[in-house]
């Protein structure tokens, strides 16, 4: 219904807007299924009192983010939220598209690591490459793709652009060609403390990518899930 359509101007006594919790709610006609629709004059939110379609509930997206971060798979998340897997996949992709990359501050030290995994079947190998800022342990950049230098380089380029002070990697040969010698170090974990942090992340990532890949079968969804996991 368009904003200009006429609506009954009687302000409801007992309905609060679920979005802004204001009382300036007016009736706004009926839905296709003859449910009373309401309109909030404060925040322009349209809603009905009880949703049959669970996906339209306001906090559904919040719950999707929460469950995804816990490492739950697509099917279990859909089951818990009582929505279809198709809707869930669409939602995950749309949530992820609104997440912006973190701004990388200059002159920091990073750790770059790659995880090998597969999509669809076991012969279809891909890499998940990610960069951790050493102090904050935050993932500042990641990329998913074929096991080529190009996939590695996407992540390395963003680090170079932010004037990385030092980049730590494992002994994978590819890095030697991609990173300047004075920036590069293969001596990985200085202390046990950092090693421990990395382990937690890697364990979690492995579980995450195993589960999502089983069900999503696509790079788009996998990338979206990672975006939610890292940056929300």
Residues near Zn ion (CB under 5 A): 17, 19-20, 40, 42-43, 45
User: For 143, left (φ over 0), alpha (ψ -120 to 50), or beta?
Assistant: beta
Specify whether the CB–CB gap between 117 and 147 falls below 8 A.
no
Specify whether the CB–CB gap between 12 and 26 falls below 8 A.
yes
Contacts of 133 (CB under 8 A, 6+ apart): 104, 108, 109, 110, 140
CB of 10 to Zn ion, least distance (A): 17
Instruction: With both helix axes pointing from N to C terminus, report the angle between 192-216 and 219-231 in degrees, rounded to the nearest 10.
Output: 140
In terms of CB distance, is 7 or 215 closer to Zn ion? 7
CB of 18 to Zn ion, least distance (A): 8
Residue with tokens 């990385």: 164
CB of 28 to Zn ion, least distance (A): 12
CB of 61 to Zn ion, least distance (A): 17
In terms of CB distance, is 17 or 179 closer to Zn ion? 17
In terms of CB distance, is 43 or 186 closer to Zn ion? 43
CB of 51 to Zn ion, least distance (A): 16
In terms of CB distance, is 26 or 201 closer to Zn ion? 26
In terms of CB distance, is 39 or 168 closer to Zn ion? 39
Instruction: With both helix axes pointing from N to C terminus, report the angle between 85-97 and 219-231 in degrees, rounded to the nearest 10.
Output: 60
């Amino acid at each position: 219904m368009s904003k200009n359509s006429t609506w009954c101007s009687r302000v409801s006594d007992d309905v609060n807007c679920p979005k802004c919790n204001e009382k300036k709610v007016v009736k706004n006609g009926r839905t296709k299924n003859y449910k009373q629709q309401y309109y909030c004059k404060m925040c322009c939110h349209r809603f009905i009192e009880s949703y049959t379609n669970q996906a339209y509930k306001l906090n559904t997206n919040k719950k999707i983010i929460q469950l995804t971060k816990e490492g739950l798979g697509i099917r279990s998340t859909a089951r818990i939220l009582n929505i279809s897997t198709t809707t869930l996949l669409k939602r995950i992709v749309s949530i992820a598209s609104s997440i912006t990359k973190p701004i990388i501050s200059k002159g920091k030290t990073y750790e770059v690591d790659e995880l090998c995994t597969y999509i669809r079947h076991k012969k279809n190998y891909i890499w998940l490459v990610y960069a951790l800022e050493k102090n904050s342990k935050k993932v500042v950049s990641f990329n998913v793709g074929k096991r080529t230098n190009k996939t590695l380089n996407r992540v390395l380029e963003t680090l170079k652009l932010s004037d990385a002070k030092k980049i730590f990697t494992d002994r994978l040969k590819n890095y030697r060609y991609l990173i300047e010698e004075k920036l590069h170090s293969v001596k990985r974990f200085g202390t046990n403390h950092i090693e421990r942090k990395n382990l937690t992340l890697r364990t979690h990532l492995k579980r995450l990518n195993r589960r999502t890949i089983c069900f999503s079968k696509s790079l788009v969804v996998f990338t979206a899930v990672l975006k939610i996991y890292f940056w929300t």
